[in-house]
Amino acid sequence: MTATDARTIPVDPVSADRLAAQGLTYRVIDTSSDADTEAFLRADARGFLDVDPSAESVQADREAIEVRRNIGVFEADAREGVWPVATVNSWTTPLTVPGGELEMWAISSVTVSGTHRRRGIARALLEGELRAASAAGTAIAGLTVSEATIYSRYGFASAVPVARVKVDTRKAGWVGPEQSGRVEYIDRETLRDDLIALHESERTARSGQIAGWDARWARMAGLHPAETAATAIRGVRYRDAEGTVQGAMAYKLTEIAGTFRSELAIRHVSALTPDALIALWRFALQHDLVDTVTADQRPVDDPITWLVADQRAVEFTVHDHGWLRILDVTAALQGRTYRAALDVVLQVGDPLGFAAGSWRLRVGADGATTVDAVGDADAPAQADVVELDVVALSALFAGGVSAARLRAAGRLRASADTAAALDDAFRTADAPVLGLWY
């Protein structure tokens, strides 16, 4: 798969016209301009209510955004270096799907300044990204969200739910098995390097993951200038009996006021083997002077509940995290594998048009998959019909959301048997996960 360089895709003309009608200029930022790059990063930070980034922080983020298609919306008379009134950026990344990878159009940095809200700028940005992604031939778009009520109006679905975990270590106990390898402390540079390498291996194991980028792992390891508590971040890794690094964990200890005891917050854990994950959980749960261990972006089938003696010591909260939006039904559905044979007609509604239509999805007993657009007149009598919108289809896509559940919520219309057949085909053995924010 040759990756599309999103930076080569021009801004969407429809959104450019719509914003021009408000006297606004919509353009790709030239990252060779120091002033424009800094203005973009500072406007982005303001939009997310972050502190104004220092010069070192701008410098550290520069490398990460230079490989992205950064768009600013400006007042028409804005000179170089003037802050944009709205920002968005995008890039393409491999998205792990059952049986392989698909190119995904990742969208981030969606902000509209407080002075320009609620006049349709975010809609112009989001629709502009979807049209650009579609023009680039990308089958699916993705994002992570600060608020869960914004993006389904553009066809995005919470498709990769994850779990937030909180363990009361005073109650939990431990019943997990012994490991033959060992856990060791590592310095922050080694932690960063291990997280980079481990994520790159781990991300292909479960549907829903995307590629990371170096600046992100540096930040996780406490090596980014914006990381105020950098020196509180520590790292450990797990080596198996042969000495191979199979897992690493970045964590931070914070004292629980007035108790001389602490909370251990896991910032990120990557593990390539069950043993590595168990050993790292054990390290955290059995840490001296720690009452609480927290983690997030864990798969909903994380084994933690079964590693402790008292399951009531584990709070396990499932929440939305990875949001996906199918743009090309044929390419997306043919781009993954299925766990059972299937023959259905998907009647997909999509107000933005990209996925709208009737699509016959056939998966043979040998796994061979075809997707054909069918007219209403020639819908085959023998195939089961599923009526759903692009949000429900995108929710099903990664294998992390049940068709039976969507049917129970009235989000998908099909017989109970057809919904069960969809689940047999679409669901994955291991829960999908997305281990990072973007």
Helix (H) / strand (E) element for 234: namely strand 233-239
Q: In what order do the strands lie in the sheet with 412-413?
A: 369-373, 357-363, 342-349, 384-389, 412-413
Q: Which is nearer to ligand COA, 85 or 285 (CB)?
A: 85
We find the least distance from the C-beta atom of residue 79 to ligand COA, in angstroms, to be 23
Binding-site size, ligand COA (CB under 6 A): 18
We find the least distance from the C-beta atom of residue 236 to ligand COA, in angstroms, to be 32
Backbone angles phi, psi at 366, to 5 degrees: -85, 5
**Residues 41-80 close enough to bind ligand COA by CB under 6 A:** 47-48
Q: Which is nearer to ligand COA, 210 or 421 (CB)?
A: 210
Q: Which is nearer to ligand COA, 112 or 133 (CB)?
A: 112
Q: Which is nearer to ligand COA, 274 or 351 (CB)?
A: 351
CA atoms within 13 A on the CB side of 45: 15
**Residues 94-153 close enough to bind ligand COA by CB under 6 A:** 110-112, 117-123, 145-147, 149-150, 153
Q: Which is nearer to ligand COA, 7 or 123 (CB)?
A: 123
Nearest CA to 97 among 163, 151, 142, 153?
A: 142
We find the least distance from the C-beta atom of residue 161 to ligand COA, in angstroms, to be 17
We find the least distance from the C-beta atom of residue 112 to ligand COA, in angstroms, to be 4
We find the least distance from the C-beta atom of residue 135 to ligand COA, in angstroms, to be 21
We find the least distance from the C-beta atom of residue 87 to ligand COA, in angstroms, to be 9
Residue showing tokens 């914006």: 226
We find the least distance from the C-beta atom of residue 4 to ligand COA, in angstroms, to be 23
We find the least distance from the C-beta atom of residue 159 to ligand COA, in angstroms, to be 15
Q: Does 405 bind ligand COA (CB under 6 A)?
A: no
Give the Cβ contact number of residue 269 at 10 Å: 26
Q: Which residue is nearest to ligand COA (CB)?
A: 122
CA dihedral angle for residue 405, residue 409, residue 412, residue 414, rounded to 10 degrees: 70
Q: Which is nearer to ligand COA, 126 or 307 (CB)?
A: 126
With beta carbons less than 8 A apart as the criterion, state whether 71 and 29 touch.
yes
Count H helices and E strands in the chain, helices first. Answer: 12, 17
Q: Which is nearer to ligand COA, 43 or 307 (CB)?
A: 43
Q: Does 300 bind ligand COA (CB under 6 A)?
A: no
Q: Which is nearer to ligand COA, 48 or 174 (CB)?
A: 48
Mask of contacts with ligand COA, 163-192, x by CB under 6 A?
------------------------------
| Dmax (CA) of the chain | 72
Q: Does 297 bind ligand COA (CB under 6 A)?
A: no
Instruction: Give the whole-angstrom CA distance, residue 378 versus residue 170.
Output: 64
Nearest CA to 409 among 425, 389, 430, 428?
A: 389
We find the least distance from the C-beta atom of residue 216 to ligand COA, in angstroms, to be 17
Residue showing tokens 């980014």: 224
We find the least distance from the C-beta atom of residue 91 to ligand COA, in angstroms, to be 16
Q: Which is nearer to ligand COA, 117 or 182 (CB)?
A: 117
Contacts for 32 with CB less than 8 Å, ≥ 6 apart: none
Q: Token pair of 76, please? A: 């028409």
Nearest CA to 315 among 167, 174, 172?
A: 167
Backbone angles phi, psi at 121, to 5 degrees: -70, -45
Residues shown for the chain: 438
Q: Which is nearer to ligand COA, 128 or 299 (CB)?
A: 128
Contacts for 229 with CB less than 8 Å, ≥ 6 apart: 222, 252
To 5 degrees, how large is the angle CA 91–CA 97–CA 102? 40
We find the least distance from the C-beta atom of residue 296 to ligand COA, in angstroms, to be 16
User: What interhelical angle do 55-66 and 34-47 show, nearest 10?
Assistant: 100
Q: Which is nearer to ligand COA, 45 or 327 (CB)?
A: 45
- What residues make contact with ligand COA under the rule CB under 6 A? 47-48, 110-112, 117-123, 145-147, 149-150, 153
